[in-house]
Amino acid sequence: MSTDAFFASLTRVRNVILPPAVRSWLNTSRGLLTGFVLVHLGFLIFGALLSLRGEAFSDTFIYRDWAAAGFNEANLSGGPSPWVYPILALIPMAIAGLAGPGPFFFLWVLMTTLLNFWGLAKLTDRGRNQDAIPAGWWWLIFTLLMGWLGFARVDGLTAPIVLVALAYGVRRPFIASVILAAATWVKVWPAAVMLALFTVVKNRMVVVLAGVATSAVVVALAAAVGSVPKLLNFLTQQGDRGMQLEATFTTPWLWLSVLNIGDSRMYMNTDINSMQVDGPGTAVMSVLMQPLLILAALLVAGLTFWALHNGKINGGPDGGVDRTELLLAGALTLTTAFVVFNKVGSPQFMVWLAPAVAVGLAHSWREWRVPAAMLIAIAVATFFIYPLFYDALSHNNPLMAGVLTIRNVLLVVLFLWSVRRLYLLGKKTPASVPALKES
């Protein structure tokens, strides 16, 4: 079945399920806003109920303890250090902890909701860009499927911020760069998107200056609170960790553990609160992952630069390759490389991939429907892995190992699709498509 035939079948199924009047209403800003409220209201209610019981959820238990301890390891009884994150990640934790540990989780979910609203508003130009409404619905569906991975982790805060930066994109590179630089000081992965932006913009010095200026503000903030010595701890605190259970490259040892072959085993690394896999060759693989990740990022950046240069040479009347499309393709390829070639592989990393796809769908639905469908499948598989059946997976359940393997194969396929997309963009200039409107 061809790609067009597959998506035509999906459209027919949708048309059978949803009457024309409902489809028309959903494709309005009011319909999208209603969807946003319903999706996020569910998370907010659950967050409020847990907070009223004095509880949190997932990693927010750890964040809450850090905030209560004033982010001082001396006040903690054990577990990971708060400085495994860049310094700006501590700001939302501190805000959520202002009223004490009780309402911490609800305030965290509320902050994520507000950032998601900002991202959706920018994506659709506050509902005025009718062509971006379906992309907004895709973003909402993905958010719902990812569940608490987007609402109980720092990654969920950074995803909508990166989406906003990509929406500004090559037309407002300074603003995009400032946003991405700030997001990188919350969680490192937005650096991949910033590298893509640096590669495709006309004036790369703007990106550099924005990054330097933002980082200077961060250093000044660290100096003001006496934390300069710990400023770069996030680069070293996890360097000696092993191969995490869910990482793509861990898959062979996952099955060796499931089948009880070669002394492979799963174990909890309590120092960093991570389930890992140990077996013949895992120590060597763990050491190799960092240079592999760096090499993959450099190769993708080089391919993006080649696509830009070759697109200019082969360009038609429009003057070459579509820089917005190239930025989005480069951002998706780099972030996917950050996931595939990462020895960590935590399930929340899947949210890294959504911003480029969401903005891509708003830019050109037809070109981006394939990765959008793959990412929905990845989100479904990830939901089964965590939170539903993670305990079974960590106890060598073969069925859940199969689900994780399928998810990891899909990630590799998505990476290969993205690489191919970059190559095709450089091979010949695509037909021009309308860029996302700027507000």
- Contact by Cβ (8 Å): 269, 243: no
Contact yes or no for 348/395 (Cβ under 8 A): no
Q: Which residue has the tokens 């992309």?
A: 135
What does the pLDDT read at residue 437? Answer: 42
Phi then psi for residue 246, to 5 deg, are -90, -5
Backbone angles phi, psi at 276, to 5 degrees: -125, 170
DSSP 8-state symbol, 180: H
d(CA 124, CA 138): 12
**pLDDT tens digits for 175-190?**
999 999 999 999 999 9
Nearest C-alpha neighbor of 342 from the set 382, 294, 376: 294
Residue linked to tokens 């911003």: 355
pLDDT tens sequence across 116-138: 999 999 999 999 999 999 999 99
Say what percent of the chain tops pLDDT 90. Answer: 80
- Report the C-alpha gap between 426 and 384 in whole angstroms: 38
Across the chain, what does the average pLDDT equal? Answer: 91
pLDDT score recorded for residue 313: 67
Task: Tell me if residue 265 falls in helix, strand or coil.
Answer: strand
Rounded Cα distance, 36 and 44, in Å: 12
Closest alpha carbon to 186 in 223, 225, 160: 160
Beta bridge partners of 269: 274
3-state secondary structure of 188: coil
User: How far is residue 267's CA from residue 258's CA, in Å, rounded to a whole number?
Assistant: 13
Q: Is the pLDDT of residue 438 over 60?
A: no
Q: How confident is the model at residue 238 (pLDDT cuts 50, 70, 90)?
A: low
Choice between 192 and 267, residue whose per-residue pLDDT is larger: 192
Q: Decide if 285 contacts 251 (C-beta within 8 A).
A: no
The vertex-426 CA angle with 334 and 337, nearest 5°, equals: 15
Nearest to 64 by CA among 113, 109, 115, 105: 105
What pLDDT is stored for residue 320 in this prediction? 67
Q: Distance between terminal CA atoms of the chain?
A: 40
Q: What is the mean predicted confidence (pLDDT) over 395-418? A: 96
Give the distance from CA 360 to its chain's centroid: 14
**pLDDT at residue 369 in the model:** 96
Distance (Å, whole) CA 368 – CA 409: 19
Partners of 265 in the beta sheet? 278
CA dist 372 and 358 (Å) reads: 8
- For the stretch 40-90, pLDDT in tens is 999 999 999 999 999 999 899 999 999 999 998 888 887 788 999 999 999
Q: By CB neighbour count within 10 A (0-12 exposed, 13-18 middle, 19+ buried), where does 386 fall?
A: buried
